[in-house]
Structure 1
Amino acid sequence: MLRFDDLSLFVRTADAGSLSAAARALDVSPAVASAALKRLEQELDVRLLVRSTRSLRLTPEGEQFLVHARAALLSLSAGRQQLAGGKAAISGELRLSAPSDFGRNVLLPWLDAFQREHPQLSVRLLLGDRVSDLYRQPVDIALRYGIPEDSSLLALPLAAGNRRVLCAAPDYWARHGVPQEVEALREHNCLLYMLGERVHDRWSFTQGKRALNVSVRGDRVSDDADVVRRWAVAGQGLTYKSWLDVAADVQAGRLQLALSDYLGEATPLNLICTHRAQLTRPVRLLREFLQTRCDELLARAPWA
């Protein structure tokens, strides 16, 4: 029979990439930790980890089993919380990843407020625009724009009505003029975002039933969406960004919108996880909290 502490040791070891680090986190000796992994591998009759004096890595079978081990531990945790009572304070560690710009400039103060409501909860936040591999990275959930390409992932909406907007600093508009048509964007310095090897230099709009696409160019490209927004605020060009990311800048006057007669590309924000067992009470409460905050920003969107 599989033991709970053996599963915990295996998941901790996979997350830390080190058996000794996992042993310290669980307050057991390296010998006890090694015995637990051997016992788990014997019970499953499969090799989960390849270990040497200098490195440790998951085998293909280990990567496959890690998903189920995480889900089992989360399910047991959720069961304990239910037995403790629905009104009990939430605690433990919530591990999530989020896009760079949204995470730094929007999510951070929201998480501060959420933790003030739930002071026994700790948060581990990973920021980056690359899509997190939820099957391998040590995170429970990810906040991401768009629907995940992997159909096995569960995507729950946080801001389904979010869209991109065209904006630039007032100083930039004063120097170069405000475009009145989508085609006029070809004449502007467009600040471009790159994900992986792809530069997003084709911007899409709609006007009524008309779909309009324009290929743009500029003198600056970054794989960090926060950098692109900062360039725009500094007056270096115009940008085509998620409303959630620039709403505060627009309201403060640091950025001004253009092409208000056109609808920008739909950019829904979703909470993504690998399995419904990961929708623990802390995750459900966080989702409700973030939905409320996103709804407040969307209520002030130019198309609202």
Structure 2
Amino acid sequence: MLFGRSDLADFSYFLVTAKHRSFRRAALELGISASALSHAIKGLESRLGVRLLNRTNRSVTLTAAGEQLQSAISSPFEEIGQAVEDLNRFRDGPSGRIRLNVPTDAATLLLAPVLPAFVDRYPDIEVDVAVSNQMIDVIDGGFDAGIRYGGTVPEDMITQRLSADLRWVVAGSPTYLDRFGEPEHPDDLHQHRCLRFRLGDERMYRWEFERGGEEILITAPGNLVLDESGFILSLMVGGAGLMYAPQAVVAPLVAQGKARLVLEDWMTPGPGFHIYYSSRRHVPVGLRLLIELIREMRPLGL
């Protein structure tokens, strides 16, 4: 059986769909609509004369034929992708596309200062950034890499440090502190309104403090539970409660007089941002260049 260019494209579509087990997620990675992707796969199945995917309203699974095809063609397509990536060294300038999954703070503090310089330096590289605090499998999600705080990076990944350790602080608005007073010891937080942060794995973040060898871990009290730092910042400025965050997050508001730090002698260092990617996946040239530029510009120190 001879295959045309459309067949090869549909085979690549099939592999992405098989990886995600979802037309929606696969379409997002491919940059096409889910309906167009489904139509392409149906056309491939028709030409091959076998069903490759079982479809329901909630899931997509591989048939036995689909599993066999995925196993047979995955390596050749990976080799083709690698060969195309290797051609970058023959171009006048590098090109390609990289996809990143990053938390809000990393997007604001780490990428925002660097990406304007990156697109100026490498105009033919497309950078697709998904900002989310959810702890997802970046490989299953179709991302080339993820950025997380050092202590939350999956152990089976290759990691590179992108920032110095971060100093964690407690901040409140002048309005709130004038009304409720300043805590003098971490235990005083139990009598305060705190803006609680829900981690990407649904756990509540506990506030860590250290002074003179004494370490204290506080389950912060409060009626507001949030998972996005920009929203927490807005509520803190509005006087809704105290927040716990890297100092760099609240520093601009402190400089503007919209926030004050408390418990400063208890401030605690924590792991900085790290980028991580699978040891099974070749690092795209664009990703390598972005890592190099972040480490060159050092927006959070290094």
> If the TM-score is normalised by the length of the shorter chain, which range does it land in?
0.7 to 0.9
1:297 to 282, 297, 300: 300
Q: What one-letter code is carried by the residue in structure 1 that aligns with 2:273?
A: L
Deviation at 1:7, TM superposition (A): 5.5
Deviation at 1:141, TM superposition (A): 1.1
CA pair 206-75 structure 1, distance change in 2 beyond 3 A: farther
Kept after mapping to 2: 8 A contact 1:163/1:243: yes
Distance 2:100 2:61 in 1: 22
- 2:193 is matched with 189
- 2:271 is matched with 267
- 2:23 is matched with 17
TM-score (norm 2): 0.74
Matched, 1:34 2:48: no
Runs of 5+ unmatched residues, structure 1: 42-46, 300-304
- 2:260 is matched with 256
2:239 to 235, 242, 255: 235
Distance 2:67 2:149 in 1: 26
CA pair 100-179 structure 1, distance change in 2 beyond 3 A: same
2:216 to 212, 216, 219: 212
- 2:101 is matched with 97
- 1:302 is matched with none
- 1:107 is matched with 111
Q: What one-letter code is carried by the residue in structure 2 that aligns with 1:165?
A: V
Deviation at 1:130, TM superposition (A): 0.9
Identity %: 26
CA pair 252-8 structure 1, distance change in 2 beyond 3 A: farther
Number of aligned pairs? 285
Q: What one-letter code is carried by the residue in structure 1 that aligns with 2:135?
A: V
Counterparts of 1:73-88 in structure 2, within 5 Å, are: 76-85=80-89, 88=92
Kept after mapping to 2: 8 A contact 1:244/1:298: no
- 1:143 is matched with 147
Deviation at 1:136, TM superposition (A): 1.9
Matched, 1:225 2:236: no
Runs of 5+ unmatched residues, structure 2: 1-6
Deviation at 1:271, TM superposition (A): 0.9
Q: What one-letter code is carried by the residue in structure 2 that aligns with 1:34?
A: E
Deviation at 1:225, TM superposition (A): 3.0
Deviation at 1:162, TM superposition (A): 1.9
Cα deviation digits, residues 130-158 of structure 1 (max 9, x gap):
11222321221111123346422222221
TM-score (norm 1): 0.74
Q: What one-letter code is carried by the residue in structure 1 that aligns with 2:98?
A: L
Kept after mapping to 1: 8 A contact 2:163/2:273: yes
Distance 2:226 2:241 in 1: 13
Deviation at 1:239, TM superposition (A): 0.8
Deviation at 1:51, TM superposition (A): 4.2
Cα deviation digits, residues 28-75 of structure 1 (max 9, x gap):
966764378x59x9xxxxx963247x7762449979998998887566
Kept after mapping to 2: 8 A contact 1:204/1:265: no
Q: What one-letter code is carried by the residue in structure 2 that aligns with 1:85?
A: R
Single out whichever of 244-253 and 90-99 deviates more from structure 2.
Answer: 244-253
Matched, 1:199 2:210: no
Deviation at 1:90, TM superposition (A): 2.3
- 1:175 is matched with 179
Distance 2:193 2:53 in 1: 51
CA pair 91-102 structure 1, distance change in 2 beyond 3 A: same
- 1:117 is matched with 121
CA RMSD of aligned residues (A): 4.0
CA pair 69-30 structure 1, distance change in 2 beyond 3 A: closer
CA pair 199-4 structure 1, distance change in 2 beyond 3 A: same
Distance 1:166 1:69 in 2: 53
Distance 2:164 2:69 in 1: 33
Distance 2:42 2:15 in 1: 17
CA pair 149-291 structure 1, distance change in 2 beyond 3 A: closer
Report the 3-state secondary structure (helix = DSSP H, G, I; strand = E; otherwise coil) of the residue aligned with 1:89. Answer: coil
Distance 2:263 2:41 in 1: 62
